[in-house]
Structure 1
Amino acid sequence: MLINKSALKVGMHFVELAEDIIRSSTNNQRFSLLDRLQERVEWMSKHNNICSLAYSAQFRTDVQMLLRDFDHNDHRKIQKVFFEDDQVISRLFREVIHSGKEEMFHLSDEKVTGFMDALHKCIMANNDPSFVLPARRLLKNLCAATKDFPPTLFLELDSVDTKRPIGRGGFADIFPGRYKGQDIALKRLQVYQSELNEVSKFSKSLLQEVLTWVHLKHDYILPFFGLDEKTFEGYPPCIVTPYMRNGAMNNFVKVRNETLPDKRVDKLLFETAQGLTYLHSQNIVHGDLRGGNVLIDDEEHARLADFGLAIVTDATLGTTSTARSGSVRWMAPELLNFELEFKRTKASDVYAFACLCIEIYTGDQPFWNIHHDITVALEVLKQMRPPRPSSSGPPDGTRAMSDRLWVTVEACWAHKPSDRPDMYEVSGHIMSPDSSGRCADIRAD
């Protein structure tokens, strides 16, 4: 063994690769490689686990440069070494996360940025909830404490067409662009604060929320690429996602109303329920579930988007009457009652899902025949709900809702939050009638 690795954990496998190259090579540069590698290894071996993790990205970059300088092109072997080193880093993060050490909150600026970036990458590469959930919580706490964020969260975009917005949602204007040769949507949040510190406050809240989004992996969740902070000055960082050519689910179903079978519509609602079930399993509340926030991908599957943005707005602007507006027709009664604390919850998401079903089946917003939102709110508080969609009833183009789905809707918009089923029950029920063809009782016990 050419190098003492007894005190080294991160990067150990890179060292083994370099040693293997040196042994098998007659190149005169091999001794220069050894000297330079020895210097990096000795430097890394002086640090504890937390500092080793903080410096791991830089160490790996340095070793890669050394290997490249040595003209080593065995990409398969290098990929294997990366994987092995990733496993070491993952184990070290598990140790420091569960050790309860406070040292990580007292790292220097340089170290904490490296630590957060390495943790962010580790979460992205991991699917184990027992690791991801506490790791994500730690990362958000570190970001809040340091007011800093992982550098890899911010992207260098190929291009953005800033003069041609392609859509406007409840919280953002959407612009087309390109990133690594792929079509993207750039979401520029609408911010009305005039004070710079208020915009900064909103930006920090947004970044805290997207730290959750970037780590999610599910077939029915819109992927999150990262953030762009360069295109629009004076705004919070823009959210970058894939471009969904088929648009939002409400418009998709409405435009294809004559050709889209009811079973296909039910499948989209099932996929939405599955996506919401996943969010809830990750302790994430969507907060603004409606047809405009469910997108349809190129394969015509549902993708939940914009989760958490309503909650960011609530926290930043305060839960005033203005903050409660916007999606009133999808809001649960407890969110409309000014005598109660305004807090979006999993149960209010379940209520919104029922309203989404009405929206998709009628092709119009819930309570389409009531002009003013305040009147809708008063009706909901009196336990009034929209009627069952029927092909013979208004508005025009309404689909007839099946017994099975209607029972699900009624259960989901129960007046008391505790009487509503959870989304796991709902998603398991929508596509699974019992053997008699009738709907099983899905109300919470």
Structure 2
Amino acid sequence: MEHEVAPLEEVLQRITQLELRQMLIDKSTLKVGMHFAELAETIIRSSTNNRKTSFWNHLKERIEWMSKHNNVCSLAYSAKFRTDIRMLLQDFGYNDSIKIQKVFLEDDQIISHLFREVVHSGKEEILHLRDEKATGFMDALHKCIMASDDIPFVLPARRLLKDLCAAAKAFPPILFLELDSVDTNRQIGRGGFADIFLGRYKGQDVVLKRLQVYRPEPSEMLKFSKGLLQEVLTWVHLKHPYVLPFFGLDEQSFESYPPCIVTPYMCNGTMIDFVKTRNGTLPDRRVDQLLFETAQGLAYLHSQNIVHGDLRGGNVLIDDREHAQIADFGLATVTDATRGATSTTQRGSLRWMAPELLDHELQFKRTKASDVYAFACLCIEIYTGEQPFPSIQPDVAVIFQVRGQKRPLRPSGSGLLGGARAISDGLWAIVEACWAHKPSDRPDMATVLGLIMASS
């Protein structure tokens, strides 16, 4: 049920007369910024600053301006309003940080409440926001999503944010970072979909992923940017110990490219390199633990309806505590947008691809089931230190093996093809289940987690 909003004159009269506490109790005046009137009461009653009349007039002017807007517009302008308030307090010399924080938290609660209303009831108006209103709304909604664990709110809020960004053809400004420095002349790596550069952000090392664009025509760039936008807006809201965090975007370092993705720098490199360099000193149980962590991260992505698309040892990083961090999920899908529709034009790691992705008679579509197949190949890769089918060259020859239902040999711990480690019976059974020829015969990742725990 919608609340009736008190007339503006009545609200302003209450403010002017400092009848603020009663006004705040009155739910009919639930508006972004109204709690700052309570802060003004405290300041004016306790301050000896001879500029308090000027302070009050400026604050009243801002509150009056906010009160004129409906809920959608007030949320869009909330960040600007709060910035103005901070500057006003600083200029006045008021520095009671505890009181200021309390009022800002109260305002946060109002903003959160109003977002829960407009996400369901104001979608049409929201999707017509443009320019400053659109970007202001994006930033405020992004902050609200990041602060919430309420799944019934978060999921539709994420969808709404993506839809607004697509309609306004813009990223939330809050996602763009001002990096300390970037070494644009030295590429430190190259993945299947991105060139890697090292930078610094707030005093720590970060990685910039400059995505490879194969068709720079404006129409293709637009398609590419829309795909990148969707993946970034998914990634930024993910929270899992075995999923690489997303820091933000950089659009300053490389002109004529889409924005670079900025992530933490992982000092231990990729999983495959980490295991190789410690061969002989890394126990099998630690290798199994890394695979289990990867499985947990992948299961989480799937629970969020995210397909990785290019899971392999080079796309799982190891952090400074030597735990797995799944990276580069969704980038395969983004770059697919700039390619043709057949399997022969799709990019990615062919030796980790499920048979349905190698069949030119089928529509090429990366799925959770193809991720499960890739996880099986990852297990073989980590145990052998080799890519799947290392003795078969060239890559295209692998297609005939996989479509003919051939699979890599079981690592036995002896010889090149046998691998440097012997895989256990329990893990081998899981691998065989995961690379079943038919997608429908493969377990989902939640089931795989259960199988791993049961076999350990």
Instruction: Give 2:290's aligned residue.
Output: 268
Instruction: Give 1:45's aligned residue.
Output: 67
Shift of 1:322: 4.5
For structure 2, which runs of at least 5 residues remain unmatched after alignment? 1-14
Which residues in structure 2 correspond to 1:276-355 (within 5 Å)? Answer: 276-355=298-377
Hey, what's the Cα distance between the residues in 2 that align with 1:245 and 1:181? 15
| Aligned: 1:388 with 2:413 | no
Shift of 1:296: 0.5
The alignment's TM-score, normalised by the length of structure 1, stands at 0.93
Identity between Structure 1 and Structure 2 (%):
75
Q: Any conservation in 2 of the 1:8–1:44 contact (CA below 8 Å)? A: no
Hey, what's the Cα distance between the residues in 2 that align with 1:238 and 1:101? 30
Which residues in structure 2 correspond to 1:116-265 (within 5 Å)? Answer: 116-265=138-287
Instruction: Give 1:59's aligned residue.
Output: 81
Most deviating of 422-431 and 399-408: 422-431
Aligned-partner residue type, residue 37 of structure 1: L
| Aligned: 1:432 with 2:444 | no
Q: Any conservation in 2 of the 1:7–1:46 contact (CA below 8 Å)? A: no
Hey, what's the Cα distance between the residues in 2 that align with 1:307 and 1:108? 30
Q: Any conservation in 2 of the 1:370–1:376 contact (CA below 8 Å)? A: yes
For structure 1, which runs of at least 5 residues remain unmatched after alignment? 438-445
Change (3 A) 1:340 1:321: closer
Change (3 A) 1:8 1:39: farther
Give the alignment partner of residue 29 of structure 1, picking from 35, 51, 55: 51
Q: Any conservation in 2 of the 1:200–1:236 contact (CA below 8 Å)? A: no
Hey, what's the Cα distance between the residues in 1 that align with 2:117 and 2:441? 41
Hey, what's the Cα distance between the residues in 2 that align with 1:390 and 1:170? 30
Query: What SS class does the counterpart of residue 345 from structure 2 fall into?
Result: coil
Q: Any conservation in 1 of the 2:359–2:403 contact (CA below 8 Å)? A: yes
| Aligned: 1:365 with 2:401 | no
Q: Any conservation in 2 of the 1:178–1:184 contact (CA below 8 Å)? A: yes
Q: Any conservation in 2 of the 1:324–1:336 contact (CA below 8 Å)? A: no
Q: Any conservation in 2 of the 1:272–1:294 contact (CA below 8 Å)? A: yes
Q: Any conservation in 2 of the 1:8–1:41 contact (CA below 8 Å)? A: no
Runs of 4+ in 1 over 4 A off after TM superposition: 3-6
Query: What SS class does the counterpart of residue 371 from structure 2 fall into?
Result: helix
Query: What SS class does the counterpart of residue 187 from structure 2 fall into?
Result: coil
| CA shift digits 1:249-278 (9 cap, x unpaired) | 011101111110000001100110111111
Hey, what's the Cα distance between the residues in 1 that align with 2:375 and 2:412? 19
| CA shift digits 1:327-356 (9 cap, x unpaired) | 111111111111111111111111111111
Instruction: Give 1:12's aligned residue.
Output: 34
Q: How many residues align?
A: 434
Hey, what's the Cα distance between the residues in 1 that align with 2:99 and 2:449? 44
Q: Any conservation in 1 of the 2:411–2:422 contact (CA below 8 Å)? A: yes
Q: Any conservation in 2 of the 1:333–1:381 contact (CA below 8 Å)? A: yes
The alignment's TM-score, normalised by the length of structure 2, stands at 0.91
Instruction: Give 1:441's aligned residue.
Output: none
Q: Any conservation in 1 of the 2:30–2:110 contact (CA below 8 Å)? A: no
Query: What SS class does the counterpart of residue 77 from structure 2 fall into?
Result: helix
Aligned-partner residue type, residue 106 of structure 2: E
| Aligned: 1:377 with 2:369 | no
Instruction: Give 2:7's aligned residue.
Output: none
Give the alignment partner of residue 124 of structure 2, picking from 74, 77, 102: 102
| CA shift digits 1:217-252 (9 cap, x unpaired) | 111111111111110111111110111111110111
Shift of 1:80: 2.8
Shift of 1:196: 4.2
Change (3 A) 1:129 1:408: same
Q: CA RMSD in A?
A: 1.7
Aligned-partner residue type, residue 255 of structure 1: T
Q: Any conservation in 2 of the 1:313–1:323 contact (CA below 8 Å)? A: no
| CA shift digits 1:287-345 (9 cap, x unpaired) | 11111100000111000110000001112323334433431111111111111111111
